[in-house]
């Protein structure tokens, strides 16, 4: 399923630059969106993976489990399809919608 990008290349680069380990890794020159089932994923230079996770469980243990399962699924798919190599940096993010009244709510 091909969908419209949620994040722009500039937003993805800004995200990477805000992470402490970034100064040890090269800044990506090109980003590609990859749909991993229902998971929206961006791959930068076969090295960076940004996955937007939709489901926000109520329990903190479920949040952790969901993030771990999502990472395993995404990495396995991207490797099998040749999008990434052995070394990569994975970033899992929760996606939020903004209400018209300005309050955030889970999507």
- Which pLDDT score is estimated for 98? 52
pLDDT of residue 24 exceeding 80, the answer is: no
Q: Where are the domains of the chain?
A: 9-106
Name the strands in the sheet holding 89-94, side by side, starting at the edge strand that comes first in the sequence. 31-36, 39-44, 48-53, 89-94
Q: What is the DSSP string of 6-60?
A: SS-HHHHHHHHHTSGGGGGSPPPS-EEEEEETTEEEEEETTTEEEEEE----SSH
pTM over 0.85, yes/no: no
Which of 16-25, 37-46, 83-92 comes out lowest in average pLDDT? 16-25
- Which pLDDT score is estimated for 105? 53
| SS3 state of residue 61 | helix
What would the pLDDT profile of 38-71 be if each residue is shown by its tens digit? 888 999 999 999 998 876 777 778 878 888 889 9
């Amino acid at each position: 399923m091909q969908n419209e990008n949620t994040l722009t290349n500039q937003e993805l680069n800004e995200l990477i630059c805000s992470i402490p380990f970034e100064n040890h890794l090269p800044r990506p020159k090109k980003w590609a969106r990859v749909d991993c089932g229902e998971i929206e994923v961006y791959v930068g230079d076969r090295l960076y993976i940004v996955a937007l996770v939709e489901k926000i469980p109520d329990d903190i243990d479920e949040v952790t489990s969901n993030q771990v399962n999502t990472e395993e699924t995404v990495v396995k798919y991207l490797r099998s399809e040749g999008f990434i190599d052995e070394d990569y940096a994975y970033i899992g993010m929760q996606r939020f919608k903004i209400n018209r009244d300005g309050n955030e709510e889970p999507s």
